Chains A and B, each alone.
Chain A
Amino acid sequence: MEGETQQPSAPIQENSSDGPRQISSDRVNRVKKLLFRRMLVGIKDGRFFLGGFYCMDKQGNIILQDAVEYRSTRRSSPSPMEQRCLGLILIPSSCRISCHVDCSVEEQLSLLSLNEKIVALD
């Protein structure tokens, strides 16, 4: 898996105690490390898109490559999921409600700690 080849947990620990300026660029660097990883984005109408993280801009619009669309077959959940391939897609930030990345448990914990720090700093 692509996810396993990158080990972002170490730098998180090193830089997280620096000043806000470093944190800022650090956040961008951290997102850069997520490039090409499997990303799962949920949108307002209940669909999910799973694809390789390809690009993000300042507004938070995300481009996924080789994306697959997942959707429920019923309004009442849980219900079976339907899927289809879409290829390269742009998900505007305005309709995105959730965003997950496929990662190992250790990496997840470091991401979590980072998230908490950001919340604390903000």
Chain B
Amino acid sequence: MAHKPTDEEAFGVAVPGRTSIPSGDNSVWADVSPLLHGACQDLQEGELIHGDNFNLFAAMSALEIMDPKMDSGIVCRYYSLEEAIENGAAPVPVSVDKTTDIRCIIDIMDHLLACEATWHKGHSLAQTVYSCLYLLQPDRTSSHALLHSYCRVTRATCKAVLSVVSDARTHEEEDLFTMAYGLPLSVDGDEKCLSMLNAVEETISRQLRACKSSSKRRVLEAIEPLQSDPDQEGYCKALLCRLRFRKHLYHLLMSIRRPQGRGLELARKHIASCISEFDCILKSSEFLRASAQGMCEQNIEDTTASGCQAIGFDASLNCRSSAPTPPRSIKILSWKKAVQYFVKLLQDLDIICAYSLDPSLEAALNFVIKFQKSQPDLVARSHLQLLLVQDGKLYGRIPMFALITRAAGLPEVTKDHDIQKNEFMVQLEQLVMNLLKILCTNVAWQRRKLGKMLQDWRVIHVQLELAFKKEFGEASKPSYDELCFKIFQQILMWVEEQTYWIAHRFLILGFELELYSVHDYCMVYWYIYTVLIKLAEKTHLRIVMNTGTAKKKGKKKKDSFKDAGRDYQMPGAVLFLQSQIYLAEGLCMMFSALKNEHVIAAPQSPFNTEHEIFIQQFELLRKACLPDNISYRSFKESTMHANFSNLVMCDYFKEAQKIAKDAKSCFANDPDKMSELRRVEQVAEHNSVALNLICRIGAIDRSLKVSFEFSHHPVFATAIVKRS
């Protein structure tokens, strides 16, 4: 690179370290600043200099340098970790004064907790927990038992949490979470963090006992006092609850992962301990705030109990040094929010640990769905998933085939039948496992995966059916195995029912994700109605087969099925679905009447016709032929004649209300089903009144305004009628 000196001489530009930014071969760096400056003067306002491939839209997404929200690389204080440490950014001990040292260490603990919660909420480890300089250089703290043990247990905890999330692979949407390249996450000796922590805890509790007794007389114990002022007791207490929380949290994470749910009992005990330590931690805040007054830098983001700025953290340092961190600045949760997050996490984990280890598949699925309603975060969802599916078994205990035979209503003896070696049965088991896993993921991802999974369920049904026909096609076969026949038949039926169950879940998740607009409601309710009809039909068939009370029934027409409730007592599960069927049908008809009577204006969108929207919304269902022979035309045909005069003749809402009332008697012991039925009843009642009003005056009074809200039920809308 002989030209380098000439370059520098010619321009006299002081480019620090320029030797490490080489120009091309046989070329030099020429200063163009004056040229650019001149060109700017010549440019017209709004004019740009750009090439042919310029795309303004893409250019808008450029990362803006020196923008604090986008540019994480802004040099703040230090150029590197080494420089920061040399400059005393993370001293060990934090202070030579014992009291100050302890005070600062408590702040570090609190800030680390806030960082950890922020990490759990989906940010990268590098920008959160590993913004702590003490964690980045593990050996530096070894002379300071308290800080060292706390750093160790924090690292070990992060490692355990990270492994849960990456094993569960539920993090697709939150993929920053598991990025830990280049960070010292596995450090030798961290596995012994608990014994270190115990030793430190022991020392401090002795210290605490000493200060308690020293109020009467001076202690002669040989322990070196941690600090030498009257606040000793408060600091000791604040430290102890923090250390104990860490200890129990780590124990909890270890025991919850023991195979076959064997550690769940123990895990619950540690959860209870964690929560009670949290109470102490929260209480310590008052003391810490009072004693920190005027002692330290104000903590703007409030990430510590004392309100002081924690020493030894610099997120900007680490943002750069670990490559996968996105160059975005983040906000660490406040200490209070972090505590709230952890309490919620602990409660969610407690729900998981408290659940039965021997549920039916239906119960397990409903449990996951109910659990998801409380919006658990990634870590809790990952734990649930890993517990549910272990070694291809539910809770590592119940083989999938046994679970399926139970769900299909087959007798106990079938669960070990050789038929489970059939390749399609093996595939079916895999599908059930996947279903359980998918239900543990976040809602958006879940819906997409469920939609795609529908086709797999359809295919497995066809394959099982073919295998079934092949086996029993010729009835005269000598080795006619009646049990085998029954297994095939019931499982086939169950697969169909389960497929419609998934389709239904897929449709209703669209409401939760707000994927439907008001104009789509009509077709969505219509689709829900058709799927529910099928689901109820399959459920009914299964129940009838299981109880063996009725003779084998062939395929039912959907209308005849709906009226079947007249002559004999319908099973509760079917009544439950029926109430929803009527409600969905009622809503669909109400929407189409409102549209046909022009109370709701059709959308004037230049982009999509109603037909196109129909195809887009239900593409995945239609690909899987759920239900068969469904098309935009069938939707149009069933809704085009709806108007105010014929709608009032058949009040679906009244029917829904009535059935919901009947169904309640079947679910006296099931609070979840009861509350769902109550909600259905409420929506039906409201809509029935609204519909009457609309039908009576809608035709005369054109100023009628109808709007919808989800105040009573997350899926079924309630109509609100107003005169404008």
B-contacting residues of A (Cβ < 8 Å)?
1, 3-4, 24-25, 27-28, 30-32, 34-36, 38-40, 42-50, 54-60, 62-63, 69-75, 77-82, 84, 86-95, 98-105, 107-108, 111-112, 114-115, 118-119, 122
Cα-based distance from A80 to B27 in the complex (angstroms)? 23
Cα-based distance from A50 to B17 in the complex (angstroms)? 14
Tell me if B693 counts as interface (CB < 8 A to partner A).
no
Contact (Cβ within 8 A) A31 B16: no
Cα-based distance from A44 to B61 in the complex (angstroms)? 23
Which B residues touch A30, using CB under 8 A? Answer: 35, 39
Contact (Cβ within 8 A) A72 B79: yes
Contact (Cβ within 8 A) A70 B21: yes
Contact (Cβ within 8 A) A31 B30: no
Contact (Cβ within 8 A) B24 A71: no
Cross-chain contact of B30 among A49, A54, A107 (Cβ < 8 A): A107
Which A residues touch B20, using CB under 8 A? Answer: 70, 80-81
Which A residues touch B34, using CB under 8 A? Answer: 115, 118-119
Tell me if B49 counts as interface (CB < 8 A to partner A).
yes
With contact pairs A42-B15, A102-B29, A108-B30 given, residues A31 and B49 touching in the complex (Cβ less than 8 Å) = yes
Complex A-B, nearest 4 residue pairs according to Cβ-Cβ distance, in ascending order: A100-B29, A73-B80, A108-B30, A24-B42
With contact pairs A45-B74, A56-B36, A86-B327 given, residues A104 and B13 touching in the complex (Cβ less than 8 Å) = no
Which B residues touch A100, using CB under 8 A? Answer: 13, 15, 29-32
Cross-chain contact of B35 among A38, A48, A75, A111 (Cβ < 8 A): A111
Cα-based distance from A72 to B224 in the complex (angstroms)? 44
Which B residues touch A46, using CB under 8 A? Answer: 16, 75, 79
Contact (Cβ within 8 A) B29 A90: no
Q: How far is the CB of B559 from chain A (nearest CB, A)?
A: 59
Cα-based distance from A4 to B41 in the complex (angstroms)? 28
With contact pairs A1-B25, A34-B32 given, residues A74 and B63 touching in the complex (Cβ less than 8 Å) = no
Q: How far is the CB of A18 from chain B (nearest CB, A)?
A: 14
**A-facing residues in B302-321 (Cβ within 8 Å):** 320-321
Which B residues touch A74, using CB under 8 A? Answer: 79-80, 82-83
Cα-based distance from A56 to B39 in the complex (angstroms)? 10
- Please name the residue on chain A nearest to B49 by beta carbon: A56
Cα-based distance from A39 to B27 in the complex (angstroms)? 13
Contact (Cβ within 8 A) B33 A89: no
Encode B319-338 as 1/0 by CB contact (under 8 A) with A: 01101000100000000000
- Please name the residue on chain A nearest to B321 by beta carbon: A82
Cα-based distance from A75 to B86 in the complex (angstroms)? 12
Cross-chain contact of A54 among B3, B28, B59, B83 (Cβ < 8 A): B59
Q: How far is the CB of B61 from chain A (nearest CB, A)?
A: 7
Cα-based distance from A46 to B64 in the complex (angstroms)? 16
Cross-chain contact of A56 among B48, B65, B320 (Cβ < 8 A): B48
Contact (Cβ within 8 A) A40 B21: yes
Tell me if B186 counts as interface (CB < 8 A to partner A).
no
Cα-based distance from A88 to B336 in the complex (angstroms)? 38
Could you list 29 examples of A-B contacts with CB < 8 Å? A27-B38, A27-B41, A30-B35, A30-B39, A35-B49, A38-B23, A40-B21, A43-B66, A45-B75, A54-B51, A54-B54, A57-B47, A71-B75, A72-B16, A73-B82, A74-B79, A74-B83, A75-B78, A81-B21, A84-B320, A87-B63, A90-B59, A90-B63, A90-B64, A92-B65, A98-B13, A99-B31, A105-B27, A119-B34
Contact (Cβ within 8 A) B65 A95: yes
Which B residues touch A114, using CB under 8 A? Answer: 35
Contact (Cβ within 8 A) B28 A28: no
With contact pairs A59-B40, A79-B79 given, residues A99 and B33 touching in the complex (Cβ less than 8 Å) = yes
Cα-based distance from A72 to B320 in the complex (angstroms)? 12
Tell me if B295 counts as interface (CB < 8 A to partner A).
no
Cα-based distance from A93 to B26 in the complex (angstroms)? 29
With contact pairs A28-B42, A58-B46, A82-B80 given, residues A101 and B64 touching in the complex (Cβ less than 8 Å) = no
Cα-based distance from A107 to B35 in the complex (angstroms)? 14
Q: How large is the interface on B (under 10, 10 to 19, 20 to 34, 35 or more residues)?
A: 35 or more
Tell me if B73 counts as interface (CB < 8 A to partner A).
yes
Contact (Cβ within 8 A) A43 B39: no
Which B residues touch A59, using CB under 8 A? Answer: 40
Cross-chain contact of B17 among A81, A95, A107 (Cβ < 8 A): A81
Contact (Cβ within 8 A) A103 B16: no
Contact (Cβ within 8 A) B35 A58: no
- Please name the residue on chain B nearest to A36 by beta carbon: B51
Contact (Cβ within 8 A) A3 B59: no
Which A residues touch B44, using CB under 8 A? Answer: 58
Tell me if B475 counts as interface (CB < 8 A to partner A).
no
Q: How far is the CB of A99 from chain B (nearest CB, A)?
A: 5
- Please name the residue on chain A nearest to B24 by beta carbon: A1
- Please name the residue on chain B nearest to A101 by beta carbon: B32
Contact (Cβ within 8 A) B49 A104: no
Cross-chain contact of A28 among B3, B49, B83 (Cβ < 8 A): B49
- Please name the residue on chain A nearest to B3 by beta carbon: A105
**A-facing residues in B58-112 (Cβ within 8 Å):** 58-59, 61-66, 73-75, 78-80, 82-83
Contact (Cβ within 8 A) A47 B73: yes
Cα-based distance from A87 to B492 in the complex (angstroms)? 53
With contact pairs A88-B62, A104-B27 given, residues A50 and B21 touching in the complex (Cβ less than 8 Å) = yes
Cα-based distance from A38 to B19 in the complex (angstroms)? 16
Contact (Cβ within 8 A) A72 B35: no
Cross-chain contact of A88 among B21, B26, B58, B74 (Cβ < 8 A): B58
Q: How far is the CB of A96 from chain B (nearest CB, A)?
A: 8
Chain A CB within 10 A, most for which of B20, B29, B62, B80: B62
Contact (Cβ within 8 A) A102 B27: yes
Contact (Cβ within 8 A) B320 A27: no
Tell me if B37 counts as interface (CB < 8 A to partner A).
yes
Tell me if B43 counts as interface (CB < 8 A to partner A).
yes
Contact (Cβ within 8 A) A3 B24: yes
Cα-based distance from A93 to B66 in the complex (angstroms)? 11
Contact (Cβ within 8 A) A112 B39: no
Which B residues touch A111, using CB under 8 A? Answer: 30-32, 35
Contact (Cβ within 8 A) B45 A108: no
Q: How far is the CB of B150 from chain A (nearest CB, A)?
A: 28
Contact (Cβ within 8 A) A45 B66: yes
Tell me if B10 counts as interface (CB < 8 A to partner A).
yes
Cα-based distance from A45 to B26 in the complex (angstroms)? 30
Contact (Cβ within 8 A) B29 A71: no
Which B residues touch A101, using CB under 8 A? Answer: 29-30, 32
- Please name the residue on chain B nearest to A85 by beta carbon: B323
Contact (Cβ within 8 A) A35 B50: yes
Contact (Cβ within 8 A) A77 B30: no
Q: How far is the CB of A66 from chain B (nearest CB, A)?
A: 12
